[in-house]
Structure 1
Amino acid sequence: MKIKTSYTTTDVHVAGEAYRIMKDAPFDYYQSLQELNEQFPNIYEQEMKLLLNEPRGFAGLNGCLVVPPFKSGIDVAVVFFDHTGTVPMQYGGIVAVLTALLESGQLKAKPSAEYNIETVSGVVTARAILKDEEVKAVALKSGLCKVVKKQVPISYLDLQTEVTFVQADHLYAIFDKAELPFDMEIENLPEINQWGKKALEALGEESHAFSRIILLDHSQKSRGRIKTVTFRPDCYIVRSPGFGTLAASSTYLLENGDMFSGRQIENESIYNAKLSGELIAKNECDYSFSFSARGFITGIQTYVLDPTDPLSEGFLLQ
């Protein structure tokens, strides 16, 4: 085997969502993180395909490029990306990066336990709780979330319903599960997938450029619990209960008067992973939330590219 290129990565999952953290950046100079973010899809095209596509990756894998900070007072800078290009923010990626860097000793533990992470969306301050050199939890805050448009009627085949759009880390299209006949359990995945395809088709003509669809079951909201399934536009189900999903769903419930401020709410996925959040600020129609989650390192790998490999760019099956 000939080796043309090699990259060492750390894989971390946060509530089931997988992140591949890359630190071997090609040598180049950038004046700012924004410049790196803009040039990333072209300069890092090979790395994106090599590390995220099959046979080394899969359709749901997220990427994080860690680089030295561009600003003073910052601990680390991160560019988030997926199979199509850069992503402005991944809250789970913040948890994954801090977990990997602190547990490997690449980032020195601070007495304050607070770390500043530079992203293209701004500086994120997160608090990492360590015990016996393990990161037991990472706490962070969301950006502002707000309802963009309420109860928009849509229809497709037998799907006649309404959707509400909420801006959080993505623009979410939220559907109420109440009128649907199936429970949101893993054994009902075929029915859930079928519903997701109809919802995507129904939203095809909608002017909002949504990034995620949420199917929300809030039947247990009085107990501070919700259950969600989140779809990407390609109908792939997001594996995590989702920080953004939790923030968007909480914003939706607060605006409808279905949730009271000052209490914690827990979001559960169809495979029983859970994330919790709490409203920390409200300014007119804008909401902000705090989260806490733990990341788990699942592997440290070196990936290589053989120039004779006919699948050097990989592939995706969805």
Structure 2
Amino acid sequence: MGVDGLMDVRAVDYHAAGEPFRIVLDGAPTIPGDSVAERRAIALGAGGSATAPRPSALDAVRQLLVREPRGHAGMYGGFLVPPDDDEAHLGVLFWHKDGYSTACGHGTIALGAWAVDSGLVPAPADGVARVRIDVPSGRVTALVQRSGGRTTGVTFRNVPSRVSALKLPVTTSRGVVEVAVAHSGACYASVPAAALGLAVEPGQLPELTAAGREIRALLADSEAVAHPTDARLSGVYGVVLYDELPSADGVLSQRNVVVFADGQIDRSPCGSGTSARLAVLAAEGRLAPGEELRHESIIGTVFTGRVLPGGDPPPAWRLGGAPREGVVTEVGGTAFRTGEHRFVLEPGDSLGTGFLL
């Protein structure tokens, strides 16, 4: 925060498979708390409710960066915070137009690239650098691939992913559909777009968005969306609407669009959403450990993912009774820097921290 009422924020922007991620380097107030999860709860307001009043200084920075004229309704980003302990390189508090999320796979990919590109984490000219990041749902690791002194890709290893429902009937305005629910740092509901009479195509985005918002609302009170050990991770964050694609060289391929928060659209294949799909496909017996999923976004960009060997065999906790550890997934993609910015809000600007359309 600047002097004399001037807001002054410095950030660097990346995109991961087309989805933006704005990393706040300077200008955000200190966020209290002993862990990243506690900082998110404080950012959400007393009690950690998404609808509770938020600290005005912190949220003003979020609004400044995500709203027009400096951002847009599809903007995503993160505040850098201290990690939970010395074993991690950094912590991050993820934000979007409606508040603060528990996980963000594409953001983790972008942060891994930034941590190496900026020199925060030493990396070889050729090989892999490991970047350990504390996020609200736990600790994740970004494996940053390097070649010729350049970052060529990032694979992130997520917190364990657990399936809580495979064929949960949900009555929508388009009929009854069977929904799969998985927790992968955030809770995702998956449904074939064809079951709703839709296809994952840009021309059908308004209908896909409406369907995703409806399903998210219908699942609000479902037992399947409740996390078994941490209530802060409960509730549907995103709805994955997907199409089956022809396999490429025997690789399972799907195209998806993820509708998250209040109707926000992920331009990428969604990193943590891909983890959720991997857990569901494993639970359905369609994907064995080590086998690859080619996950395409609505704009044609691609993440690849796999379930690592070991861990509990699916199905996970509610399907098998007692809670289990779940499966560990890896999701890979690319991230590229798109800009470095200094954002200001001058005294007297009648638009303040901006607006959303």
Question: Shift of the alpha carbon at 1:200?
Answer: 4.6
Superposed CA offset, 1:200-226 (max 9, x none): 565466564311111122354664111
The one-letter code matched in structure 2 to 1:239 is: R
1:1-318 correspondence runs (5 A) = 4-26=6-28, 28=30, 30=32, 32-34=34-36, 35-40=38-43, 41-42=54-55, 43-69=57-83, 71-109=85-123, 113-196=129-212, 198-200=214-216, 202-203=218-219, 206=222, 208=225, 209-218=235-244, 220=246, 223-281=251-309, 282-284=311-313, 285=316, 286-317=326-357
Question: Shift of the alpha carbon at 1:190?
Answer: 4.3
Superposed CA offset, 1:137-186 (max 9, x none): 12221211122123222223342222222111221111123445443222
Which deviates further from its counterpart, 18-27 or 117-126? Answer: 117-126
Distance in 1 (alpha carbons) for counterparts of 2:62 and 2:201:
33
Distance in 2 (alpha carbons) for counterparts of 1:264 and 1:62:
27
The one-letter code matched in structure 2 to 1:298 is: T
The one-letter code matched in structure 2 to 1:307 is: P
Superposed CA offset, 1:66-116 (max 9, x none): 245463243223222223333222222122123223323344436862222
Give the unaligned 5+ runs of structure 2: 44-53, 226-234, 317-325
Superposed CA offset, 1:199-253 (max 9, x none): 4565466564311111122354664111112112422222110112212122222
The one-letter code matched in structure 2 to 1:33 is: S
- Look up the SS of the partner of 1:310 in the other structure: coil
Question: Shift of the alpha carbon at 1:118?
Answer: 2.8
Query: For residues 71 and 250 of structure 1, do their structure 2 counterparts lie closer, same or farther at Cα, with a shift above 3 Å needed?
Result: closer
Q: Is the 8 A contact 1:3 1:304 kept in 2?
A: no
Q: Is the 8 A contact 1:200 1:233 kept in 2?
A: no
- Look up the SS of the partner of 1:224 in the other structure: strand
Superposed CA offset, 1:272-304 (max 9, x none): 111001110441322221122211001111100
Which deviates further from its counterpart, 199-208 or 241-250? Answer: 199-208
CA RMSD of aligned residues (A): 2.7
The one-letter code matched in structure 1 to 2:312 is: N
Query: For residues 97 and 216 of structure 1, do their structure 2 counterparts lie closer, same or farther at Cα, with a shift above 3 Å needed?
Result: same
Question: Shift of the alpha carbon at 1:57?
Answer: 0.8
Query: For residues 302 and 159 of structure 1, do their structure 2 counterparts lie closer, same or farther at Cα, with a shift above 3 Å needed?
Result: same
Distance in 1 (alpha carbons) for counterparts of 2:83 and 2:168:
43
Distance in 2 (alpha carbons) for counterparts of 1:122 and 1:146:
14
Query: For residues 200 and 113 of structure 1, do their structure 2 counterparts lie closer, same or farther at Cα, with a shift above 3 Å needed?
Result: closer
Which deviates further from its counterpart, 214-223 or 16-25? Answer: 214-223
- Look up the SS of the partner of 1:257 in the other structure: coil
Query: For residues 250 and 102 of structure 1, do their structure 2 counterparts lie closer, same or farther at Cα, with a shift above 3 Å needed?
Result: closer
In the other structure, the counterpart of 2:321 is: none
Q: Is the 8 A contact 1:142 1:290 kept in 2?
A: yes
The one-letter code matched in structure 2 to 1:39 is: I
Runs of 4+ in 1 over 6 A off after TM superposition: none
TM-score (normalizing by structure 1): 0.87
Query: For residues 193 and 36 of structure 1, do their structure 2 counterparts lie closer, same or farther at Cα, with a shift above 3 Å needed?
Result: closer
Greater RCO (Cα-Cα under 8 Å, separation 6 or more): 1
Query: For residues 248 and 69 of structure 1, do their structure 2 counterparts lie closer, same or farther at Cα, with a shift above 3 Å needed?
Result: closer
How many corresponding residue pairs?
A: 316
Question: Shift of the alpha carbon at 1:266?
Answer: 0.7
Query: For residues 83 and 159 of structure 1, do their structure 2 counterparts lie closer, same or farther at Cα, with a shift above 3 Å needed?
Result: same
